[in-house]
Structures are given as C-alpha cells and as structure tokens.
Amino acid sequence: MDAIIQLIHVSKCYDRRPALSDVTLEIEKGEFVLLMGPSGAGKSTLLRMLIGEEQPDEGQIFVHGRNVTKLKPSEVPYLRRKIGTVFQDFRLLSKKSVFDNVALPLVVQGVSERDIRRKVTEALRAVGVDHKKDQPPNSLSAGEQQRVCIARAIVNGPVVLLADEPTGNLDPERTGEIIELFKLINARGTTVIVATHDPQIVKQIHRRAVTLVDGVLTQERRSTERIET
C-alpha cells in the first residue's frame, strides 16, 4: 500500500521544551489511526504540522506526496484543501447557517453554485443533519455541531481527515455516534487520524493506535478490527 503520510525523524521544541522528539511514522492510504496520549503529549503539534501550520525544527513530513516542510506559504492553502480538519470546539461560524458553514471550503475554492448545493446536501445527509441546514449552529446540540464540523471537513472529498479531540465536548453516547461516523468516512476511502486522550475510544475501536508521551512515540498497536468496505 502507498504511504499517504510520512514523518521522518521529526522534532519540534517550544522554548527549549520538546513537543516532538525524533518522531518517525508512516500512515498508509485508507488507514484509520488513533493518535493517543495525555494532554501536552504533542498530538496537536503533530496534526498542526500535517496541515503546514507548524514547521518542524528537524525532520521531513510528506503528505499525499508533497514535502510539507518545503512548501512555499502560497502553496499551503492548496495542501489544506486536500485535508479535512475537525476540532474539539467545532469552530463553526455562529452568524452563518449550517448550510453556509459547510459550503465554506467549496466557496473558497470557487466551486460552482450548483455543485456547492449538491455537495453540501450530500455531506449533511452523510452526517445526518440535513434537516437542520437552515439553522444557525448555536441552536444545535453539541453532537449535532460536531456533525456539522465533520460535514464541513468532508464536503470537498479530502484524502485525509484529521480530528483533534473530536469527542472532547461530547457525552459517551454522542462520542460513540461520532466515532461510528469516522469509521463510515474511513470505509469510503478517506484516511482518518483521530487524536484523543480518551482511553475509552481505544477500547471501542480496534484500529491502529499510536501513543505519544512527552513528544516521543512510545507504543503502537496494530489494527485488530475486521474492516468492512
């Protein structure tokens, strides 16, 4: 299989405190990977590096065949268009409707009005909130807001989906629903990386899990789940 993400001896320090130390990791196309570790372990730093928001002090990062560490600032937005991002705090625009929030990645790419309508409707249907498309995000429950955030992340068919503590603000029942949604997205061929500190998720999902502690990759568990596509 082809590696869609490669980190080769990546290190990063903040004020001489190491956030990542000599991390080497390879993720194959279509994989579902859990990035585990306590708060401050370096999970978010690693995800930010994958979208070109941070640069490593040492090492190389390849995403979808592009060396992220060598990208010009003007090329970074085009990399981000291939990567969907889901945040713990949803980061939805409260003054826009659910539909407009999900349409935003397509709007910035200059997609035609007709395609926007079609793709946004499909994405909202896939996450199960199409009936709330005209409502402002604030009127939705936390679980629904996270679904809208996921719809926005997948609307332009990304090759990779990154989720940073996506269930941090959700109760166990909603957490299970969101994880199922990620599995569904993964089953359609998108590589999914979920960063979490919640050990319950690792118990629920028997997929590949890598653990970071103080910026060092300490453990790796291979996938034991039978993947249905």
Residues that bind another protein (CB under 8 A): 51-53, 73-74, 76-81, 85, 91, 93, 95, 103-105, 107-110, 113, 116, 152
In sequence order, what E strands does the chain have?
3-14, 17-28, 32-36, 58-63, 66-67, 83-86, 160-164, 191-196, 208-213, 216-221
Give the nearer residue to another protein in terms of CB position, either 42 or 105: 105
Give the nearer residue to another protein in terms of CB position, either 93 or 227: 93
Minimum CB–partner distance for residue 44 and another protein (Å): 13
Give the nearer residue to another protein in terms of CB position, either 124 or 209: 124
Minimum CB–partner distance for residue 173 and another protein (Å): 27
Q: Report the residue count for the chain.
A: 229
Minimum CB–partner distance for residue 77 and another protein (Å): 5
Minimum CB–partner distance for residue 27 and another protein (Å): 20
DSSP state of 227: P
Question: The sheet that has 66-67: what strands, in order across it?
Answer: 17-28, 3-14, 58-63, 66-67
Minimum CB–partner distance for residue 50 and another protein (Å): 12
CA–CA separation, 5 and 104 (whole Å)? 26
**Residue 34: which of 228, 221, 226, 224 has the closest Cα?**
221
Give the nearer residue to another protein in terms of CB position, either 12 or 152: 152
Give the nearer residue to another protein in terms of CB position, either 43 or 152: 152
